[in-house]
Chain A
Amino acid sequence: MNPKDEGKKKRRSAFSRRGFLQGFGAGTGVLATGVLAPEQAEAAPATPVQGPGEVAITLTINGKPQNVKVEPRATLCDTLRTALDVTGAKRVCDRGTCGACTVIVDKKVVYGCTVLAIDAAGKRIETIEGLAVAPKLHPVSKAFWDNDAQQCGYCTPGFVMAAKGFLDRNPNPTLEQVKKGLGGNLCRCGTYVGIRKAVLQAAKEMQGGRNA
């Protein structure tokens, strides 16, 4: 489940501070504050420390485990887009506001720009690429198309994923619920009218699909 980490094998036995020493090197001057009191050193935690260099992890994306090396500072969004070439999720505000990077992790919609890739290791990551195999369209994507719920389209994958996550929890929403449920995404071209209709249509079609 957890990161396939080389660091894990060499479980550290002594200082909890050792990671600082390894990572940043002595003599940089930053360590003065990190010196341990002896009793703390006694009670060394059993938890391994990884990084700050690259760590090998496995991300389970749309059901497929993928191995990738990341620095702990790498976000899930950047790792998907750059290291794994999974580019449906877009990087826009990059500060957890606009929702263009929305992906679903362990069944919950999250901002990929604000999740560390290393923290997503072992979790189930769903991206828009996993919704349907080309040329097929997921009912949410189809509804976005039918209702012209995109212009430039850069916010669209994030909106589609937010809508998918919303409908999974609210299969039969009202318009008011749709408005509240998609409050974490922004569009600049102004496609909200189409998106409202699209989500309501998708709800209907997905229900229909289930009952059929």
Chain B
Amino acid sequence: MERFEYANPTTVKDATELLGATWADAQVLAGGTDLISLMKDYVVSPKRVVNIKGIAELGKITPGTAGTQIGATVSLDDLTSNRAVRAAYPSLVTAALGITSPQIRNMGTVGGDLCQRPRCWYFRQGYGLLAMKDGKSLVPNGENLYHAIFGGGPAYFVSPSSLGPALIALGAQIKISSPTATRTVGADKFFVNPQSADMREVDLKPNEIVTAIVIPPGVTKNATYEVRQKEALDWPLATASVALKMTGTKIASARVVLGHVAPTPWVAAGAEKWLAGKSIDEATAEAAGAAAVEGAKPLSQNEYKVQLAKVAVKRALLAAAGKAV
């Protein structure tokens, strides 16, 4: 890790002012579960690290009529222990508990989960988000076992966020502050599929921080299903989060979002459309899964992820409907 200077501000204003005009100037430290490793591997070498855990207002979960606000530095453990969150957003809780290391859940934060960098091993070895070497992506003919099946390139990493798919399905908004302004962006717009090497995979500027996530009320049923090989700490191979607005036993509208299959959480619009007006049973869920993976373009080693995404959608829907998976 390169040397850096360190600041521990107590206000959002201070924190954003300590950030820089470029990513190389400063990085935000919250849980540290990703940043410290990125720095050890020289993937990022900021000149300054700004710890935002000292900002009290970012550490709170605030229920309200306009929805539940979750501060950016709320730990994953606090998130999953919160009674209101557990009752209303099982999809979020399942996703957070899918990180099967208590240590990570204690350290890792909600904001950090959204802003963590991809685990793509080409990225981690210094080849950038597009994994380019000599003008060519290393991924399509390389070791792409864990890479994207959606998105169409030129980036093939998968978004590592556990909470992202659930938050998009729940219609969450993300609050962002810079030294001079605050703004709110839909969770579905927050994640970006970079089209060039200088783009970032999230909609954040170097001097901005995520301050909170707001989940609107109104979703009745939601669930997440993650396919992972190990029960101990391991990255999922594919996940699906669903949120359903119901009219009686019928789905009025559905959100179906896949995780770990594209450079962003991947909204399965085909499945959403197909589900409208249906009631959930095994056959509907199965068909929704099939609709969700239409148009997938697997790489040389990851065709299996199409099947996993399909099953994840089916099982998430059945779980949302309270049916045994």
Q: Which A residues are closer than 8 A to B by beta carbons?
A: 2-3, 16-17, 19-20, 22-24, 30, 33-35, 40, 43-53, 55, 71-73, 75, 94-97, 99, 102, 108-111, 113-116, 118-119, 162, 165-166, 179-184, 186
Q: Is the CB of B25 within 8 A of A184?
A: no
Q: Is the CB of B102 within 8 A of A51?
A: no
Q: Is the CB of B17 within 8 A of A183?
A: no
Q: Is the CB of B5 within 8 A of A23?
A: yes
Task: Give, as a whole number of angstroms, the nearest-CB distance from A12 to chain B.
Answer: 10
Given contacts A45-B17, A72-B49, A119-B51, contact A183 B4 (CB under 8 A): no
* Residues of the B chain whose Cβ atoms lie less than 8 Å from the Cβ of A116: 6, 29, 32, 36, 49, 51
Q: Is the CB of A33 within 8 A of B4?
A: no
Q: Is the CB of A33 within 8 A of B24?
A: yes
10 contacts between A and B (CB under 8 A): A33-B24, A49-B5, A50-B7, A73-B1, A109-B102, A110-B106, A110-B107, A116-B32, A179-B231, A183-B100
Q: Is the CB of A72 within 8 A of B21?
A: no
A105, B18: Cα distance in complex, Å: 26
- In B11-64, which residues have CB < 8 Å from any A CB? 13-15, 17-18, 20-22, 24-25, 29, 32-33, 36-37, 39-40, 47-49, 51, 53
* Residues of the A chain whose Cβ atoms lie less than 8 Å from the Cβ of B53: 119
Task: Give, as a whole number of angstroms, the nearest-CB distance from A47 to chain B.
Answer: 4
A131, B53: Cα distance in complex, Å: 28
Any A CB within 8 A of the CB of B232 = yes
Name the residue on A nearest B105 (C-beta): A184
* Residues of the B chain whose Cβ atoms lie less than 8 Å from the Cβ of A55: 6
Given contacts A52-B4, A73-B1, contact A44 B33 (CB under 8 A): no
Given contacts A16-B18, A40-B17, A183-B233, contact A52 B5 (CB under 8 A): yes
Given contacts A40-B179, A73-B39, contact A51 B4 (CB under 8 A): yes
Any A CB within 8 A of the CB of B8 = yes
Any A CB within 8 A of the CB of B227 = no
Any A CB within 8 A of the CB of B90 = no
Q: Is the CB of A50 within 8 A of B104?
A: no
Given contacts A111-B103, A116-B36, A184-B101, contact A49 B6 (CB under 8 A): yes
Name the residue on B nearest A24 (C-beta): B47
Q: Is the CB of B51 within 8 A of A16?
A: no
Which of these, B21, B32, B100, contacts A114 with CB under 8 Å?
A: B32
Q: Is the CB of B6 within 8 A of A118?
A: yes
Q: Is the CB of B8 within 8 A of A180?
A: no
Name the residue on A nearest B101 (C-beta): A184
Given contacts A49-B18, A96-B37, A116-B29, contact A184 B103 (CB under 8 A): yes
A43, B178: Cα distance in complex, Å: 13
Q: Is the CB of A73 within 8 A of B2?
A: yes
Q: Is the CB of B100 within 8 A of A44?
A: no
Q: Is the CB of B25 within 8 A of A51?
A: no
Q: Is the CB of A47 within 8 A of B7?
A: yes
Q: Which 6 A-B pairs have the closest CB atoms?
A: A184-B101, A72-B6, A183-B100, A52-B3, A45-B14, A47-B9
